[in-house]
């Protein structure tokens, strides 16, 4: 493998394919009669179903637009009405009547109900064949309801501060990485490009002691997760050196953030280390990877991808070939350092406001991921941000329609908290 210097080339796709596999349809034996189940439901349950259909029609007939505030309010009201009606239906059930006990509470879900819960889950609806991103986990930790609303009603437009932060990260990346556009024609090409960028970045880390914007994909807590690490440092010439993961946050104000924002940043870096450590330990189920992302491991990659991999010193024909080189790269890397680093810069002049160095906590990060997955998998309702952190609502696009933002004097007392 040739040495990759500070101007290492990072490939970026110039065209993303539309990859939508056709769903599998069960077959029915023509000689087997159909059995139609009959179920009697209450008036309250029927009202809930009608409300759900009404909300679905509103969401399907008019795709949400970030610029349409009226449509957004309509969608949020629909979601809120279903939630409230659902809560009333459950609370009105008499626990003394065995016929009214909630099926999930009884712990006896039928196979059909389990399937329906999986299909209706946020994970299945919005991250099927894509995997969860690390930012999906941190967004859920920040506010579960905001994350849910963002999926159902459309992501809020990027603020000026968010755009400035993205520009800063691009500038940091360009200090050590030279981007090269590569044409892709399939989903296999896209993943081959991600793997290629990881291999190039890992070699840059080993030879130069620094790389940035390193893509990750891994299997953690039963789900596929993806992410991009801001920066990795590994001082050269030292024995027992472990890569230190670094994330840079930009600030509009010349002050350090409060604890909730620091906690959220720590979770992000800990997720990256969790994925990194699983990769270097070779905990990567290849067959599950190909199945989950609907990839053909033996499809010939595009000529441009094959040309670039050959230039980098590892001629590749298929994604299986690329994965073999990827495993070789993982085997050369040690686990990430137990110390992680958050940096805070002032957007105005990129001056350093401060640093937060903290220790990795495996049990805590696994607990946070599992808690987030409970919402993504539909195992429980998304909850509102706690009252002591309701100051988050003042910058939330959904605040005007969210019940949590109208919870009285406690919100007023916390709105002026330092974020």
Tally Cβ neighbours within 10 Å of residue 347.
17
Residue range 130-140: mean pLDDT, rounded: 97
Residue spans per domain, the chain: 122-382
> What's residue 295's pLDDT?
97
pLDDT tens for residues 208-265? 999 999 999 999 999 999 999 999 999 876 767 899 999 999 999 999 999 999 999 9
> What's residue 156's pLDDT?
66
pLDDT tens for residues 309-326? 999 888 999 999 999 999
Residue range 48-57: mean pLDDT, rounded: 46
Q: In terms of pLDDT, which residue wins out, 72 or 366? A: 366
Distance between start and end Cα atoms, the chain = 47
Residue 204 CB contacts under 8 Å (≥ 6 apart), including other chains: 4, 5, 6, 8, 176, 210, 211
Q: Is the pTM of this model over 0.85?
A: no
Torsions phi, psi of 236, nearest 5? -85, 160
pLDDT classification of 362: cutoffs 50, 70, 90: very high
Angle at 119 between CA 223 and CA 149, to 5 degrees: 80
- Output the average pLDDT for the chain: 77
> What's residue 406's pLDDT?
60
Gyration radius (Cα) of the chain, Å: 24
Strand partners, 227: 216
């Amino acid at each position: 493998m040739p040495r990759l210097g500070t101007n290492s080339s990072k490939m970026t796709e110039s065209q993303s394919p539309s990859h939508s596999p056709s769903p599998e349809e069960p077959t029915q034996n023509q000689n087997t009669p159909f059995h139609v189940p009959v179920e009697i439901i209450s008036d309250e349950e029927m009202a809930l179903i009608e409300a759900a259909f009404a909300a679905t029609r509103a969401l399907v007939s008019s795709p949400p637009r970030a610029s349409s505030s009226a449509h957004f309010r309509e969608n949020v009201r629909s979601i809120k009405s279903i939630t409230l009606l659902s809560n009333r239906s459950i609370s009105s059930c008499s626990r003394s009547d065995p016929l009214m006990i909630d099926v999930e509470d009884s712990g006896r879900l039928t196979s059909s109900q389990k399937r329906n819960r999986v299909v209706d889950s946020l994970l299945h609806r919005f991250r099927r064949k894509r995997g969860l991103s690390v930012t999906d986990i941190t967004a859920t930790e920040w506010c579960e309801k905001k994350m849910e609303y963002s999926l159902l009603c459309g992501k809020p437009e990027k603020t000026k501060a968010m755009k400035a932060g993205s520009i800063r990260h691009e500038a940091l990346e360009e200090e050590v990485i030279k981007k090269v556009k590569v044409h892709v024609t399939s989903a296999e090409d896209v993943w081959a490009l991600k793997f290629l960028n990881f291999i190039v970045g890992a070699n840059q880390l080993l030879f130069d002691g620094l790389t940035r914007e390193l893509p990750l994909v891994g299997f953690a807590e039963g789900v596929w997760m993806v992410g991009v690490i801001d920066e990795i440092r590994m001082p050269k010439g030292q024995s027992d050196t472990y890569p230190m993961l670094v994330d840079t946050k930009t600030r509009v104000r010349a002050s350090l953030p409060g604890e909730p924002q620091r906690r959220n940043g720590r979770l992000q870096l800990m997720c990256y280390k969790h994925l990194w450590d699983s990769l270097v330990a070779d905990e990567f189920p290849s067959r599950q990877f190909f199945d989950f992302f609907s990839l053909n491991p033996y499809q010939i990659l595009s000529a441009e991808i094959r040309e670039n991999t050959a230039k980098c010193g590892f001629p590749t024909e298929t994604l299986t070939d690329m994965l073999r080189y990827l495993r070789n790269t993982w085997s050369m890397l040690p686990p990430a350092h137990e110390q992680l680093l958050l940096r805070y810069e002032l957007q105005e002049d990129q001056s350093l406001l401060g640093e937060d160095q903290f220790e990795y906590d495996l049990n805590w990060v696994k607990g946070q991921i599992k808690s987030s997955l409970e919402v993504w998998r539909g195992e429980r309702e998304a909850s509102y941000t706690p009252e002591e952190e309701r100051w988050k609502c003042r910058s939330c696009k959904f605040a005007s329609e969210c019940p949590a933002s109208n919870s009285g004097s406690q919100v007023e007392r916390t709105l002026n908290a330092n974020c």
